[in-house]
Chain A
Amino acid sequence: MGIYSVLGENLEQVKESLYTGKSGIGIDPRRTEMGFRSSLTGILPRPNLKGMLSRRERVGLPEQGEYAFMSTKQALDNAGITQDYLDNNEVGILFGNDSSAVPVIEAIDNMREKKDSTLLGSGSIFQSMNSTVTMNLSVILKLRGINLTVCGACASGSHAIGLGYFLIKQGLQDMIVCGGAQEINPESMCSFDGLSAFSVNHNDPTKASRPFDKDRDGLIPSGGAATVIIESLESAKRRGANIIAEVIGYGFSSNGDHISVPNVDGPVKSLEKAIKDANISPKDIDYINAHATSTPVGDMNEAQAIARVFEGCNVPVTSTKSQTGHEMWMGGASEVIYSILMMQNNFVAANINLDNPDEYSSKLNIPNKRIDHKIDTFLSNSFGFGGTNSTLIVKKFVE
Chain B
Amino acid sequence: MNREEVIDKINDFLIDEFELEADQLTPDALLKDDLEIESLDFVDIVVIVEKEFGLKINGAEMKEVKTLDQFYTYIHTNLNK
Contact = CB atoms under 8 A, between A and B. Distances in A.
A55 B47 CA distance: 16
Chain B contact surface mostly = helix
Given A54-B19, A55-B17, A55-B18, A122 B50 contact: no
A312 interface: no
Contacts of A168: none
Contacts of A54: 19
Interface residues of B, number: 13
Interface in A91-148: 116, 118-123
B41 A56 contact: yes
A119 B50 contact: yes
A121 B17 contact: no
A121 B38 CA distance: 13
26 contacts: A54-B19, A55-B17, A55-B18, A55-B19, A56-B38, A56-B40, A56-B41, A59-B40, A59-B44, A116-B56, A118-B43, A118-B46, A118-B47, A118-B59, A119-B46, A119-B47, A119-B50, A120-B47, A121-B43, A121-B44, A121-B47, A122-B40, A122-B41, A122-B43, A122-B44, A123-B44
Given A55-B19, A56-B38, A119-B50, 20 more contacts: A54-B19, A55-B17, A55-B18, A56-B40, A56-B41, A59-B44, A116-B56, A118-B43, A118-B46, A118-B47, A118-B59, A119-B46, A119-B47, A120-B47, A121-B43, A121-B44, A121-B47, A122-B41, A122-B43, A123-B44
Interface of B: 17-19, 38, 40-41, 43-44, 46-47, 50, 56, 59
Interface of A: 54-56, 59, 116, 118-123
